[in-house]
Structure 1
Amino acid sequence: MSVTIKDVAKKAGVSPSTVSRVLSNHPRISRETSKKVRDIMEELGYHPNIMAKSLVSKTTNSICVILPKPAEELFNNLFFMELIRGIVTQANRSGYDVVLSSGANEKEEVEAVSRLLHGRRVDGAILLYSRHNDPVVEFLQTNQFPFVLVGRSDEYSGILSVDNDNVQAAYEATKHLISLGHQRIGFVSGPQNLIVSQDRLLGYRKALQDSNLEMRPEWIVEGEFLQESGYRAMSFFMNLPERPTALVVLDDVVSFGVLRGLHELGFKVPEDLSVVSFNNITLAELYTPPLTSVDIGIYQLGYTASQALIQLIQSDGDKQFLKRHIIPHRLIIRESSMFSLNNTR
């Protein structure tokens, strides 16, 4: 005979309604009571009927993560893996499951999200990117579904978002290279429809402008979040009549392509070209040479996004929860940018 809520309540010395509130992570249930009830559930082998619970509460205790496209970017870049780890960790601690959703194009993305939300299979969504004229964001806002954006948006008001100050982060990264004596500094960007690419490019330009340094269009190369983009950029940069002596690169994985390309071309880092990157993924410290990178708190970005979304869901869309969360960043200086041109003068 299966264990019921009444069995758990009797054993824990609480009412069945209290057990139900524990299952739904009700904010008024104390941590001690919640732990006691959950321990009893485990002891008795109680498993809630999720389908029945969803019909009664009209919630699923599930959220979906909308993956960026193309899919190879996700699985080839540890940034996204660490971001998802933060999301899943917090969701599980709050009693929520995580569903992954993707599409080959924007139309398929909207269709996938529509099936999940209109079908009451999830309670809200997390977008792992922010881009201009995003039909997914428009769909979520129009239908008043709870969601959180990892990034920021200039086009839509009242959006719950989790982000870094990417303009300031890029400014500091560029200023670090300037402090080493570099005056010809290039930039390897990401897709220009992404807000993060534009913000970091803006920070780079501001730093050059404040230092009265020249900005040349040929020193800015756009690519994808893939090693191959960095590799291709090197073939272009190192064949310029007047090449940069340092680079700011949008992403660590792209920087690995930069370093590989430089090595194959016979150039040394940082003696011939200094490199500063973003994200500070685990491999950044282990690469040769170890990569100077801006630590943006990837895990915390995911954890906070998950926490903020679940709070919004449980608040029934209370507008006081619609705000922008900023995760601090810090520049981690390693060997790829420790060579000072000032010392050679």
Structure 2
Amino acid sequence: MRVTIKDVANKAQVSPSTVSRVIAGNGRIGKDTILRVRQVLDELGYHPHHAAQGLAKRTTCTLGIILPRTPDDVFSNFFFPELIRGISTRASRSGFDILMATGSLAQEERESLTRMVRGGRVDGVVLLSSRLEDPLIRLLEEEQFPYVLIGRNDYSASTLSVDTDNIRAAYELTQHLIAQGNQRIGFVAGPANMIVNRDRLEGYRKAMEEAGYPVQNEWIIDGELLQQSGFRAISMLMELEDRPTALVVIDDGVCFGVLRGLGELGYHVPQDISLAAFNNIALSELSTPSLTSIDIGTYQLGYTAAHQLLLLLAGEEKAKSRFIIPHRLVVRESSLRK
């Protein structure tokens, strides 16, 4: 026999409406009550009847995720699976499923998002990154469709977003390399139109300027968020006559490509060149040498983004539109000069 909300309410000694609010992720309930209801939900093995809920509320109980680039590219970068894990964990706790879509070209991305929104497939959308004058944000604003952005945008100040202070994080990472005695510091960047890339470049430039050290244009190499981009970048940088002694790298995965390229060219880290990157994925501690990285709280970024979107869907008023997840510098072997 199927367990009902009334069964859960009776055992938890609360009203059926309270059980419904716990399932929906409504935050205006006491913590003790939430814990008691969730325990009973687990004990009785209750599962929301999404089809019935959808008919009654005209909802799908599904959140959409728009992946940047192709699935192969996304899942070869360890940052995105951890981000999605945070989103899906929070969504499932409120009985929501996840629908992911992508496109290898900008037009394909827009078409995927349009099908999600106009086809009534999802109740809200999570964007995993933003670009300058992002057409996906423009579409969602035009459709007045609920969404949350992981990152920062230049389109609307009212956009609900969850982000890292990337300017500050890059500033601190560059300062760390400067403190190790480096004056010639390069930057292995991501796509030039990504706002996170621009913010991290700004933080890097600010630290270099404050220290009185020049930033050479040839020390900044644009690329993609892929290992092969790091490999190509280091091949170009090490051919320079006046090459940098340290590098800030846009992403840990890209930095693994840098490490591989340096190894093949016969250079050693950090003896010949120091490295520091962003995201602090699990493999950063296990690489040889272990990688200095900024931990941006990737899982928490995804979890918080889903939480804020669910509150928006539940009709909760926003206390603020932008949420900043704290970051921390994790210093390891790759940046420490002997």
Q: Which residue of 2 aligns with 1:185?
A: 185
* Structure 1, 184-193 or 101-110: larger mean CA deviation: 101-110
Mapped pair 1:280 → 2:280: yes
8 Å contact from structure 1 (residues 8, 19) kept in 2: yes
CA contact (8 A) 1:187 1:219 kept: yes
Does the residue aligned with 1:286 lie in a helix, a strand or coil?
coil
1:98 aligns with 2:98: yes
TM-score (norm 2): 0.91
Counterpart residue type for residue 179 of structure 1: A
CA shift, 1:59, in A, is 2.2
In 2, Cα distance between equivalents of 1:181 and 1:43: 58
| Uncovered stretches (5+) of structure 2, i.e. residues with no partner | none
Give me the TM-score of the superposition, normalised by structure 1: 0.90
**Cα separation, 1, equivalents of 2:173 and 2:9:** 56
Q: Give percent identity, aligned residues only.
A: 55
1:221 partner amino acid: I
Matched, 1:124 2:124: yes
Q: 1:330 matched to which residue of 2?
A: 328
1:272 Cα shift? Answer: 0.6
Q: Distance in 2 between matches of 1:326 and 1:46?
A: 34
Superposed counterparts of 1:168-207, under 5 Å: 168-207=168-207
2:138, 2:155 within 8 Å by CA — same for their partners in 1? Answer: no
Instruction: Give the distance between the partners of 2:268 and 2:72, measured in 1 at CA.
Output: 29
RMSD over aligned Cα, in angstroms? Answer: 2.3
Structure 1 CA distance, aligned partners of 2:182 and 2:18? 64
Paired positions, count: 338
In the TM superposition, what is the alpha-carbon distance from 1:17 to its structure 2 partner?
5.0
Paired letter, 1:167: I
Q: Does the CA contact (< 8 Å) of 2:25 and 2:311 recur in 1?
A: no
- How far did 1:151 drift? 0.5
Between the aligned partners of 1:46 and 1:339, the Cα distance in structure 2 is: 56
In structure 2, what is the Cα distance between the partners aligned to 1:6 and 1:323?
36
Query: Matches of 1:72 and 1:204 in 2, distance apart?
Result: 30
User: Are the aligned partners of 1:131 and 1:195 in contact in 2 as well (CA < 8 Å)?
Assistant: yes
Counterpart Cα distance in 2 of 1:106 and 1:164: 25
Q: Output one character per residue of 1:318-345: Cα deviation in whole Å (capped at 9) or x when no partner.
A: 4x355111111111111111106xxxxx
Q: Which residue of 2 aligns with 1:292?
A: 292
**Match for residue 313 of structure 1?**
313
Q: Any stretches of 5+ residues in structure 1 without a counterpart?
A: 341-345
Distance in 2, Cα, partners of 1:119 & 1:275 = 46
Structure 1 residue 118: Cα displacement: 2.5
1:273 deviation in Å? 0.4
Deviations 1:42-66 (A, max 9, x none): 6666654322211211222221111
Instruction: Letter of the 2:107 partner, please give it.
Output: K
SS of the residue aligned with 2:175? helix
Pair 1:324–1:9, CA change in 2 (3 A): closer
What is the alpha-carbon distance in structure 1 between the residues aligned to residue 290 and residue 12 of structure 2?
A: 54
Structure 1 337/143 Cα, relative in aligned 2: closer, same or farther at 3 Å? same
The SS at the match of 2:285 is helix
The answer for the alignment partner of 1:167 in structure 2 is: 167
Q: Secondary structure at the match of 1:202?
A: helix
Partners of 1:298 and 1:239 lie apart in 2 by: 34
The answer on whether the counterparts of 1:312 and 1:321 sit within 8 Å (CA) in structure 2 is no
Preserved CA contact (<8 Å) 1:159 1:322: no
1:213 aligns with 2:213: yes
Label 1:35 to 1:263 Cα distance change in 2 as closer, same or farther (>3 A): closer
